[in-house]
Amino acid sequence: MAQPTMQQVAERAGVSLALVSLVMRQAPNVSDYRRQLVLEAAAELGYRPNVLARNLASRQTSTIGVVLNDIHNPFFAEIIDGIQAAFDEAGYRVLIGNGKRSPSGEAEMIETFLQFRVDGIISAGATMSMSSIEAASESTKIVVVGRSSRSQLIDSVNTDDVSGARMAVDHLVELGHHRIAHIDGGTGAGAEARRRGYSEAMTDHGLSAEIVTAGGDFTESGGYLAASELLSQSNQPTAIFAANDLSAAGALHRVEDAGLIVPDDVSIVGYDNTALAAMQHLSLTTVNQPRDELGRLAVRFVLERLRDKRTDSVHHMVAPTLVNRKTSSRLTTGAAT
C-alpha cells in the first residue's frame, strides 16, 4: 500500500524534486523534454499526488464539502446535481456528508469538513442552529441552501417559501376549497415560512376560521399520521396542503385508506416537486422549488467569496411555481360547506 512519492519520481526521471512538482502542477515554464521524462516516470511508478501533503503545503484544498440534512430526501439529493455540475466547471471536487436528519449529525459533518480544511461548505436544509453555522463560518466560506437566514455572516439561497405556500392555498381556493388544512414540517428547514404563508393566505381569503395545522416532520410516515389526525376531526378538510412531497405522499395514502378518492373527495398539494411528485403514478400537484438553480446559486456564492473576496453577506430568494397535476381538483358541490 506504500505509495510512490515525488521523490521517487524525481530519481527515476533524473531530475529534481522541484521539477516534478512543477510538472504535476502543470506549470508553464518546463521544457517539453523534461516534462515527458517526468510524466513517463510517474506513469511507470503509478504515482498519484498526495492531496494531504499538497493541501497542507499550499494551504488550500480545492475541495468543497456539501452536508445534506438527509440523504434520503429526494429534495436534498436533487440539489446536489446543480452543485456538482457548477463545481466541476470551476475545478473543485465535492465531498458529500450525510447529516442523518439531526442537528448533531450535521454539526459532526461540518466539523469533519473543517478539519479537512475544505475551501468551502454548502449546507442543504440545515436544521442546526444558525449560531453554530456562523461559528463555523469563521473558519471557511459557508452558504446555506434551502433554509432562510438573515445572518450578517453567511450567504443563503432559498425559495420564497411564504409565497410558495400562498400559491398552494390560492390554487386550492380557486378550485372552490374552503376547508384547507396544512400538514407542516415541524422544525425542518422551511417549515416555518410555509406555515406562515399558509396562514397568511387563508386569512387573506377570509378563511382564518378554517386554519387547521397538523404536525408533520417532512417524512412519509409523518404525513400519514398527520392526515389521520385531520380526518378524525368533525370538520374534515376538503383539501390538504402538505409542507413537502414526502408528507403529501403519506397523506395521500391515508386519505385513500379511509376510502376517499383523491382528488374527488380530498385534494392534496405537496411542496418541492421532487422526482417523487413527478412520478406519474403519484402525479402530485405541488409547488416547485428550482433545485438545480438553488444548487448553482449556492456554488456561485461560495466562489464569489473565494475568488472575488466578497465579504458582505447576500441572501438570495428564488421564486417557486405551482405545478398542477392530478391530486387537486374543483370542489364538488356536494362536499361544500
Binding residues for DNA, per CB under 7 A?
Answer: 3, 5-7, 15-19, 21-22, 24-25, 28-31, 33-35, 47-50, 53-54, 56-59
Which C-beta is closer to a second copy: that of 54 or that of 300? 54
Q: Does 43 bind a second copy (CB under 8 A)?
A: no
Q: Does 261 bind a second copy (CB under 8 A)?
A: no
Q: Does 20 bind a second copy (CB under 8 A)?
A: no
CA atoms within 13 A on the CB side of 148: 12
Farthest-apart Cα atoms in the chain, separation: 90
Q: Does 95 bind a second copy (CB under 8 A)?
A: yes
DSSP code string of 58-113:
HT---EEEEEES-TTSHHHHHHHHHHHHHHHHHT-EEEEEE-TTSHHHHHHHHHHH
Which C-beta is closer to DNA: that of 23 or that of 277? 23
Helix, strand, coil: what percent of the chain each, to 5? 45, 15, 40
Q: How far apart are CA 293 and CA 15, in angstroms?
A: 48
Contacts with a second copy: how many residues (CB under 8 A)? 47
Q: Does 264 bind a second copy (CB under 8 A)?
A: no
Q: Residue 19 binds what, of a second copy, DNA, none (CB under 5 to 8 Å, by partner type)?
A: DNA
For residue 10, the surrounding DSSP H or E stretch is: helix 6-13
Which residue in 232, 280, 311, 333 binds a second copy (CB under 8 A)?
280
Which residue in 34, 35, 196, 253 binds a second copy (CB under 8 A)?
253
Q: What SS3 class is residue 47?
A: coil
CB burial string 145-175: b at 16+ within 10 A, e below: bbbbbebebbbbbbbbbbbbbbbbbebbbeb
- Provide, rounded to whole angstroms, the least separation between the CB of residue 112 and DNA: 15
Q: How far apart are CA 149 and CA 155, in angstroms?
A: 8
Which C-beta is closer to a second copy: that of 269 or that of 276? 276
Binding site for a second copy (CB under 8 A): 1, 3, 46, 48-53, 55-56, 61, 71-72, 74, 77-78, 80, 84, 93, 95-98, 100, 111-112, 114-117, 138-140, 220, 224, 249, 252-253, 256-257, 275-276, 279-282
